[in-house]
């Protein structure tokens, strides 16, 4: 048996053959990506460091690290907010809607309207001395199950391959470059960045050929600083030299690369983050490429391999075509069902590559608006943590597709943001507890962001994230998480709303707030008639969020055996039934706002007043809610049993899977 395995492994190594492409698993093209068109690159990542791989004749690897952002923490709480809030409420109650929004946006938000933006490390460029016209038999692929990228082509009868992998356990990116004929592999390697580059150095030394880049977010005080290093390991017979800031490798057959970048976000001094970077690179070097690769694959398969989706086989041999041809076909028909499976697998690859929990005690950061990939110093919408649907949506598939651990970095960020939110609660609203508006950055900056009518004034990002805290428990049944993470955060969030809400028409309501990201026409009896506004009192979604947060808080308290006499529990019990209930409009619709205003964008894509339907649970019956909470993961049967609702069992099969 043993010999047989060795033989098979050896045969696999020697063949270095193309993978047999699986139409449900591989994205593949017969042409390179078009640098700098970012969207044409292949993304890989280990949750912290990532690469966008173009695969051209001259290779470009766009490198990101999730704590490289545009600068230090900014305190953006407007000192005039606290005094302005009651004024704005009076204006709203008097029907002076435009005046209220103007006053709020002049006095309750900072004149520094933007938090920090996600940025990027830079590019590793590799010139192989090949021209695009000389390349034949070109193919590049992304394996969505192993998280690997490959490139293969022929120049002058020599086959060249490139292989890229992101390793989560050891924290590095690794690559192997080969030529089928000995000594034919030549590489002229550069490292470039777009932001403030402090230094780029190339060094050729026995067993230690490196390119090192040090960069800065550029501020004179407290900039974010980083160092990234790529170490190249050629086979014997290769010649390595330095030309300016480039590393030149000639006459090689195989070259391996190990890369890491570390930043001042996680380490207090340059010495500390560079020591960590060297430790990771040295460890990977000591293991060698094959071991780094197999460890990365073993890790990711154990994780992504928990779910297999089978929607059937595509007709007409479509699944065997390169992905661009399938996408063209898909414009006409949805019959290429394996393309849907591929999209599902691609999505899980992206989440696994952009969001993994910390494995060394440092802070992990969640997937941002760009996941973890971008090629610009300032990504669209800042590549922030936009928490009025976007970041939450990144994690909607995490539980149902059995990769709930990817959500843990979200709670690391919540931990960073909670004290900032306490400061915002106190200084903007005079309240205890914590509050986040509709964005966070890596520093947890919770202040209102931008100056946009339909999104800025929304103190409910913290509520939506609190819902993720209780939902995470419902998927994992992890009591330690419930006690140490979910309950304290739910408590902070509930405490804020108990203070922030005010009485109107016999209920506790919210405002100034809005229904992300829709606007309405101001009616004739209010001012200014016909203007499009968004800021008001008691949008439906606020009530829906508070209801489920208070229910979740009480559920958590009961699970943890915290008695009803506990003051926080007693306060929540008093408050929950006083939240303004949903209103039904003239068409039977859930009213988005307190008045049946005319929507500016009917069916606006956020569908904010339907939060209670999805991801909320309010429109399900209680027994459906219980069953849905159990998710579809390995813990489902234990969860159902734990719920004790044995009478539910026969109904479970009929319920929609979330
Ligand atoms: C990034 O990608 C965009 C979109 O494809 C492209 O227009 C731009 O030139 C790229 N920027 C850089 C710095 O590579
Ligand atoms: C509302 O606007 C009207 C007309 O501009 C003004 O007379 C009134 O004082 C305003 N009310 C509040 C509470 O601002
Ligand atoms: C305007 O009319 C609506 C609907 O009749 C009513 O709910 C609202 O209170 C009125 N606004 C004012 C300022 O009177
Ligand atoms: C927001 O924009 C409005 C004009 O649209 C302006 O009056 C207000 O001062 C701005 N707020 C801040 C804080 O810059
Ligand atoms: C923003 O407001 C602060 C405090 O009110 C003030 O010192 C600063 O000059 C303002 N900045 C801008 C760009 O208006
Ligand atoms: C390496 O590439 C750079 C451009 O990045 C070029 O200036 C240099 O001449 C090349 N060096 C060699 C030895 O090919
Ligand atoms: C390899 O070289 C780099 C750059 O000169 C240096 O920082 C690092 O300590 C070296 N590593 C080893 C193991 O010698
Ligand atoms: C490198 O390869 C070239 C072309 O194959 C050959 O001419 C040259 O002698 C080799 N150089 C060394 C140092 O081996
Ligand atoms: C899609 O349908 C159009 C119109 O029938 C046709 O011209 C086109 O070739 C089709 N595309 C593919 C990829 O089948
Ligand atoms: C990264 O940011 C640039 C500049 O804003 C943008 O052109 C590019 O499309 C972004 N990348 C992605 C994947 O959106
Ligand atoms: C609003 O909430 C407070 C605190 O729970 C409660 O005492 C009060 O009765 C509520 N108001 C209404 C109108 O229900």
| pLDDT of amino acid 475 | 92
Which residue out of 554, 578, 580 has the highest number of ligand 11 atoms within 8 Å of its CB and is therefore the one to mutate? 578
In a domain, 346, yes or no: no
Tell me if 340 CB under 6 Å of ligand 10. no
Looking at 619, 638, 653, which one is the last position of a domain?
Answer: 619
Query: Counting atoms of ligand 9 from 1, which one is nearest the CA of 329?
Result: 13
The arithmetic mean of pLDDT across residues 143-162, rounded, is 98
90 Cβ below 6 A of ligand 2: yes
- 280-317: per-residue pLDDT in tens? 999 999 999 999 999 999 999 999 999 999 999 999 99
Tokens 């970095």, located at residue: 409
Residue 360 lies in a domain: no
Ligand sitting nearest the alpha carbon of 123:
1
Sign of CA dihedral 416, 417, 421, 424: positive
417, part of any domain: yes
Q: How far is the CA of 91 from the centre of ligand 2 (A)?
A: 7
Whole-angstrom distance, CA of residue 158 vs CA of residue 351: 36
Residue to mutate, 36, 62, 123, ligand 1, most ligand atoms under 8 Å from C-beta: 36
Ligand 9 atom closest to the CA of 331, numbered from 1:
1
Per-residue confidence band for 461, with pLDDT thresholds at 50, 70 and 90? very high
- Distance (angstroms) between ligand 8 centre and the Cα of 379 equals 44
Q: Assess if residue 253 is contained within a domain.
A: yes
Q: Is residue 354 a part of any domain in this protein?
A: no
Residue 518 near ligand 10, beta carbon < 6 Å: no
Asked if residue 42 has pLDDT above 80, the reply is yes
Burial of 362 (0-12, 13-18, 19+ CB in 10 A): middle
Beta strands across the sheet bearing 158-166: 26-29, 136-143, 148-155, 158-166, 173-179, 254-263, 225-234, 209-216, 196-203
Residue nearest (by alpha carbon) to ligand 11 atom 2? 575
Pairing of strands 502-504, 158-166: unpaired
Return the pLDDT at 655: 40
Asked if 583 and 513 count as a contact pair (C-beta separation under 8 A), the reply is: no
d(CA 447, CA 79): 12
Tell me what pLDDT residue 627 has.
Answer: 58
pLDDT value, residue 508: 98
Q: Which two tokens mark 370?
A: 């760009």
* Residues 296 and 397 occupy one common structural domain: no
- Which distant-in-sequence residues (6+ apart) come within 8 Å of 548 by Cβ? 467, 612, 616, 617, 618
Residue 653's pLDDT is 44
Instruction: Give just the sign of the alpha carbon dihedral 605, 608, 610, 614.
Output: positive
Position in ligand 8 atom list of the atom nearest CA 251: 1
Please check the confidence at residue 377 and state whether its pLDDT lies above 50: yes
Q: Any idea which residue has 């992206």 for tokens?
A: 350
> Where does 332-404 show beta strands of DSSP type E?
385-386
- Report whether pLDDT(471) > 50: yes
Angle between helices 337-354 and 289-304 (to 10 degrees): 120
CA of 454 to the centre of ligand 3 (A): 21
| Contact by Cβ (8 Å): 436, 462 | yes
CA angle 21, 27, 32 (to 5 degrees): 105
Q: What is the pLDDT of residue 635?
A: 61
- Closest to 473 (Cα-Cα) out of 457, 456, 487: 487
| Residue 330 falls inside a structural domain | no
Q: 100 C-alpha vs ligand 5 centroid, how far in Å?
A: 22
181 and 284 share one domain: yes
* Cα of 106 from ligand 3 centre, angstroms: 25
Ligand 1: nearest atom to the Cα of 62: 14
Domain that holds residue 237: 2-70+118-304
Q: What is the pLDDT of residue 528?
A: 86
Residue 49 in domain: yes
**What pLDDT is attached to residue 639?**
59
Which token pair is 385?
């943590």
Q: Are residues 266 and 394 in the same domain?
A: no
Per-residue confidence (pLDDT) for residue 658, from 0 to 100: 34
26-29 vs 598-599, strand pairing mode: unpaired
Summarised one tens digit per residue, pLDDT across range 507-553 is 999 999 999 999 999 999 888 888 999 999 999 999 999 999 999 99
CA of 114 to the centre of ligand 5 (A): 13
Residue nearest to atom 10 of ligand 3 (CA): 525
- What average pLDDT does the chain have? 92
Cα–Cα distance for residue pair 641/522, rounded to 1 Å: 51
If asked whether residues 298 and 388 sit together in one domain, one would say no
Total number of domains constituting the chain: 2
DSSP string across 411-430: HHHHHHHHHHHHHHHHHHHS
Return the pLDDT at 68.
Answer: 97
How many C-beta atoms surround the C-beta of residue 614 within 10 A? 11
CB 443 within 8 A of CB 72: yes
Q: Is the CB of 41 under 6 A from ligand 10?
A: no
Give the integer Cα–Cα distance in Å for 106 and 456. 12
Sheet with 598-599: list strands edge to edge.
532-533, 520-521, 598-599
**Per-residue pLDDT tens over the stretch 624-644:** 565 555 665 666 666 555 554
Ligand 9, atom 11: closest residue by C-alpha: 329
Give the domain CATH number at 268: 2.70.98.50
Q: pLDDT tens digit string along 574-614?
A: 999 999 999 999 998 899 999 999 998 888 888 999 999 88
Q: Is 350 exposed, middle or buried (0-12, 13-18, 19+ CB in 10 A)?
A: buried
Q: Which atom belonging to ligand 1 lies closest to the Cα atom of 39?
A: 5
For residue 467, how far is its CA from the centre of ligand 5 (angstroms)?
A: 35
Does the residue 185 lie in any domain?
yes
CA of 585 to the centre of ligand 11 (A): 25
C-beta 183 within 6 A of ligand 3: no
Asked if residue 495 lies in contact with residue 487, where contact means CB atoms within 8 angstroms, the answer is no
Same domain, 297 and 403: no
**Overall residue count recorded for the chain in this entry:** 658
Q: Output the CA torsion sign for 441, 447, 448, 450.
A: negative
Q: Is the CB of 64 under 6 A from ligand 7?
A: no
CATH of residue 438: 1.50.10.10
> Does residue 368 have its Cβ closer than 6 Å to ligand 2?
no
Q: Is 32 in contact with 56 (CB distance < 8 Å)?
A: yes
User: Ligand 2 centroid vs 451 CA: distance in angstroms?
Assistant: 23
Neighbour-count burial for 317-336, b at 16+ CB within 10 Å, e otherwise: ebbebbbeebeebbeeeeeb
Residue 646, pLDDT above cutoff 50: no
List the structure tokens of 326. Answer: 């399938």
Q: Per-residue pLDDT averaged across 459-466, rounded?
A: 98
Residue nearest atom 12 of ligand 10, based on CA coordinates: 374
385 pLDDT above the threshold of 70? yes
The pLDDT score that the predictor gives to residue 601 is: 85
Interval between CA 508 and ligand 5 midpoint (Å): 35
Give the Cα separation of 232 and 281 in Å (integer). 10
Residue 525, ligand 3, Cβ within 6 A: yes
396 and 258 in a single domain? The answer is: no
- Say if ligand 3 is within 6 A of residue 95 CB: yes
User: Is the minimum distance from the CB of 112 to ligand 4 under 6 angstroms?
Assistant: no
CA distances from 93 to 430, 504, 511 (A): 20, 9, 10
Same domain, 404 and 298: no
Among 280, 304, 328, which residue terminates a domain?
304
């Amino acid at each position: 048996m043993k010999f047989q395995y060795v033989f098979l492994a050896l045969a696999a190594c020697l063949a270095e053959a193309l993978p047999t492409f699986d139409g449900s698993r591989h994205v593949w093209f017969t042409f390179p990506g078009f640098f700098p068109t970012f969207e044409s690159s292949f993304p890989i990542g280990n949750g912290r460091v990532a690469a966008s791989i173009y695969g051209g004749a001259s290779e470009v690897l766009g490198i990101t690290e999730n704590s490289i952002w545009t600068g230090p923490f900014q305190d953006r709480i407007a000192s005039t907010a606290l005094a302005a809030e009651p004024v704005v409420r009076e204006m709203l109650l008097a029907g002076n809607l435009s005046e209220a929004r103007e006053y709020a946006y002049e006095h309750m938000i900072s004149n520094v309207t933007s938090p920090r933006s996600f940025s990027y490390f830079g590019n590793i460029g590799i010139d192989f001395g090949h021209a695009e016209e000389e390349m034949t038999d070109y193919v590049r692929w992304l394996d969505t199950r192993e998280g690997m990228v490959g490139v293969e082509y022929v120049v002058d009868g020599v086959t060249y391959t490139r292989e890229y992998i992101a390793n989560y356990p050891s924290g590095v990116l690794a690559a192997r470059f080969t030529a089928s004929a000995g000594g034919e592999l030549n590489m002229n390697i550069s490292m470039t960045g777009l932001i403030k580059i402090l230094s780029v150095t190339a060094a050729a030394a026995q067993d230690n050929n490196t390119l090192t880049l040090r960069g800065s977010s550029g501020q004179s005080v407290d900039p974010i600083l980083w160092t990234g290093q790529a170490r190249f390991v050629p086979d014997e017979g290769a010649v390595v030299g330095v030309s300016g800031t480039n590393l030149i490798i000639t006459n090689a057959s195989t070259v391996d690369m190990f890369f890491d970048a570390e930043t001042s976000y996680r380490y207090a001094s340059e010495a500390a983050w560079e020591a960590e970077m060297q430790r990771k690179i040295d460890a990977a070097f000591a293991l060698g490429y094959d071991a780094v690769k197999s460890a990365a694959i073993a890790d990711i398969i154990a994780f992504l391999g928990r779910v297999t989706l089978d929607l059937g086989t595509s007709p007409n041999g479509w699944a065997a075509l390169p992905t661009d041809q399938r996408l063209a076909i898909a414009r006409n028909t949805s019959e290429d069902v394996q393309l849907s499976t591929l999209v599902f697998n691609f999505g899980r690859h992206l989440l696994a590559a952009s969001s993994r929990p910390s494995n060394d005690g440092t802070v992990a950061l969640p997937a941002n608006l760009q996941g973890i990939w971008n090629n610009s110093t300032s990504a669209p919408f800042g590549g922030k943590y936009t928490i009025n649907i976007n970041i939450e949506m990144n994690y909607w598939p995490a539980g149902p597709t059995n990769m709930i651990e990817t959500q843990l970095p979200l709670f690391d960020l919540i931990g960073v943001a909670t004290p900032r939110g306490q400061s915002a609660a106190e200084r903007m609203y005079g309240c205890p507890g914590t509050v986040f508006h509709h964005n966070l950055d890596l520093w947890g900056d919770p202040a209102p962001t931008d100056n946009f009518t339909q999104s800025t004034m929304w103190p409910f990002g913290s509520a939506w994230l609190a819902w993720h805290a209780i939902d995470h428990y419902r998927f994992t049944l992890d009591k330690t998480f419930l006690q140490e993470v979910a309950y304290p955060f739910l408590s902070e969030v509930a405490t804020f709303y108990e203070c922030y809400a005010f009485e109107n028409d016999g209920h506790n309501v919210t405002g100034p707030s809005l229904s992300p990201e829709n606007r309405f026409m101001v009616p004739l009896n209010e001012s200014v008639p016909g203007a499009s506004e968004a800021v008001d009192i008691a949008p439906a979604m606020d009530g829906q969020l508070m209801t489920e947060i208070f229910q979740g808080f009480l559920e958590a308290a009961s699970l943890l055996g915290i008695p009803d006499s506990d003051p926080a529990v007693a306060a929540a019990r008093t408050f929950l039934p006083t939240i303004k209930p949903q209103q039904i409009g003239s068409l039977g619709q859930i009213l988005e706002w307190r008045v049946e205003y005319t929507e500016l964008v009917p069916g606006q894509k956020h569908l904010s007043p339907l939060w209670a339907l999805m991801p909320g649970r309010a429109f399900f019956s209680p027994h459906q809610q219980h069953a849905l909470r159990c998710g579809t993961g390995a813990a489902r049967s234990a969860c159902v049993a734990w719920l004790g609702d044995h009478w539910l069992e026969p109904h479970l099969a009929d319920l929609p899977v979330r």
